[in-house]
């Protein structure tokens, strides 16, 4: 069985891998944004902080929001996986991870961004790859590993 805590930790790990992807691509390779600016964007999505200048407080809030959202989506995945066995069984788990990553990307870009009135400046391909591959697939595989670990520990 998959527990919600597995999704929490899996979401955090997947959040780290997606943040690393964005750091390498958007910050180091394409120079679209600074590292501070990347995390500040998450906080600037909140209506009281629209257009606020980048500061350490805003970056800190952005880091907390980024990883809280990653953990929340991870918990939702684990709750779904506790009902659908194929979500934690390879190779179907990879397909579920791709599908879930696409769903997460859609929720963020087509629901949360318009709802908050945030400005989305990220290229489409970058958001899709970072969310679908480096969040969704990583989350699904972390869930599969957690299930295997628990199954092998059971008497």
In this predicted model, what pLDDT tens digit does every residue of 7-66 receive, in sequence order? 999 999 999 999 999 999 999 999 999 999 999 999 999 999 998 999 999 999 999 999
Q: Is the pTM of this model over 0.85?
A: yes
pLDDT at 4 over 90: yes
What is the C-alpha separation between 136 and 133, in angstroms, rounded? 6
What is the C-alpha separation between 29 and 148, in angstroms, rounded? 37
What is the C-alpha separation between 110 and 104, in angstroms, rounded? 10
What total number of domains does the chain contain? 1
| Distances, alpha carbon 21 to alpha carbons 46, 59, 77, 150, in Å | 23, 18, 21, 29
Asked if 71 and 55 count as a contact pair (C-beta separation under 8 A), the reply is no
Name the pLDDT band for 129 (thresholds 50, 70, 90): very high
| pLDDT in the model for residue 103 | 98
Contacts of 125 (CB under 8 A, 6+ apart): none
| pLDDT in the model for residue 152 | 85
In this predicted model, what pLDDT tens digit does every residue of 75-123 receive, in sequence order? 999 999 999 999 988 899 999 999 999 999 999 999 999 999 888 888 9
**Among candidates 56, 52, 41, which has minimal Cα distance to 112?**
41
| pLDDT in the model for residue 143 | 94
Tokens of 9: 């930790």
| pLDDT in the model for residue 122 | 87
Domain that holds residue 117: 4-153
Q: Print burial letters for 52-63: b (CB count within 10 Å at least 16), e (below 16).
A: eebeeebbebbb
């Amino acid at each position: 069985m998959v527990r919600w805590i597995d999704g929490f930790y899996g979401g955090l790990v997947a959040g780290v891998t997606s943040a690393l992807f964005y750091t390498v691509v958007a910050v180091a390779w394409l120079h679209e944004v600074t590292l501070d600016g990347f995390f500040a964007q998450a906080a600037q999505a909140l209506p009281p902080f629209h257009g606020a200048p980048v500061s350490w407080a805003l970056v800190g809030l952005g880091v907390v929001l980024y990883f809280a959202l990653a953990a929340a989506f991870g918990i939702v995945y684990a709750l779904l996986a506790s009902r659908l066995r194929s979500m934690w069984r390879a190779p179907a788990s990879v397909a579920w991870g791709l599908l879930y990553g696409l769903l997460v990307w859609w929720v963020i870009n087509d629901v949360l961004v318009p709802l908050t009135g945030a400005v989305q400046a990220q290229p489409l391909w970058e958001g899709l790859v970072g969310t679908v591959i480096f969040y969704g697939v990583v989350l699904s595989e972390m869930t599969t590993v957690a299930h295997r670990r628990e199954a092998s520990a059971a008497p």
